[in-house]
Amino acid sequence: MAVSEMSVADKDAGPYGIAAGPDSALWLTFSRSGHVARLTLDGELDEYSLEAPECRPAVIAPGPDGAMWFTRSQDHRIGRVTADGETESFAVPTSGSGPFGITAGPDGAMWFTEMNTDRIGRITSMGEITEFVLPRTGACPSAITGGPDGALWFTLNQANAIGRVTVRGDIAIHRLPTPNAAPVGITSDGAALWFVEIAAGQIGRITVDGAIEEFPLPDRTAKPHAIVAASTGDCWFTEWGANSIGHITGSGEITEYGLPSPSSEPHGITLGPDGALWAALETGGVARLEP
């Protein structure tokens, strides 16, 4: 495995979220400077400033309309940026919502989490927002992804659970076996959902009928953060505390790859258009791991 790094910003910008766009480029959020950026595979970078520099853009994901959609956790808005850098944003109706995770749903809309107000949101390409209230308070819904069953699956960081919501708004909650595991990132490999437990140092797998398995990391203090599936039973995740990229197979076999720069704070991770894994490094770079 070859791991390389590329600088994309100074350490004050805080690269956080990363996703592959439909334009064969990578898109990043700079959480501290209030920018989104487009990075080509040959290293060309374009930055787009947002109208509120302290809006703290977090997770970014491709939408069904060909644009990239992202959450703005500090000013409680959902942002949209086109391939040529035109941006707009939409206020979440519930005050102080703290949107974080976002993903495209099977219904042609984007779905997002509201960390502070225990809601799951849905936004259309026209900016119309619907919210669904969770049956838990203080749950801190975090990452969200589309499942193989046509529902949306999300982590409940403070409720120690995985949630499921249908496109009609029906909600189910599945508690984790390990107490205080604090799940964050979640992904679908096409057959099941995989998630990380940042406080327990484990990777979890949940089937669509709610059966859960957990796989301890070699270093339980590694603080796994984000996870992405390359194919069924083939997932990659960032280890914020261990400065590494991890890999887990369908049987739970774990391999870790250290990053060249110390304390680089890897957060978001995505499968790039070149077939490599790309991670955002909060200290100002991106890492590329070629399987």
267 catalytic per annotation: yes
Instruction: Give the residue-averaged pLDDT of 19-33.
Output: 97
Helix, strand or coil, per DSSP, at residue 191: coil
What superfamily in CATH does domain 2-290 come from?
A: YVTN repeat-like/Quinoprotein amine dehydrogenase (2.130.10.10)
- 1: pLDDT confidence band, cut at 50, 70 and 90? confident
Tokens 């898109």 — which residue? 27
Residue 10 pLDDT > 90: no
pTM of the model: 0.98
Encode pLDDT of 166-218 as tens digits: 999 999 999 999 999 999 999 999 999 999 999 999 999 999 999 999 999 99
pLDDT in the model for residue 127: 97
Order the strands of the 68-72 sheet from edge to edge: 57-62, 68-72, 77-81, 87-91
DSSP code for 210: -
Residue 135 pLDDT > 90: yes
Residue 282, marked binder: yes
Percent of the chain whose predicted confidence (pLDDT) is above 70: 100
Residue 160 pLDDT > 90: yes
Got the DSSP string for 52-108? STTS-EEEEEE-TTSSEEEEETTTTEEEEE-TT--EEEEE-SSTT--EEEEEE-TTS
List the catalytic residue out of 35, 76, 247, 267: 267
Q: What is the mean pLDDT of the chain?
A: 97
pLDDT in the model for residue 52: 92
pLDDT in the model for residue 291: 79
Residue 44, marked binder: no
Residue 114, marked binder: no
Encode pLDDT of 76-101 as tens digits: 999 999 999 999 999 999 999 999 99
What tokens appear for 149 in the block? Answer: 């069953």
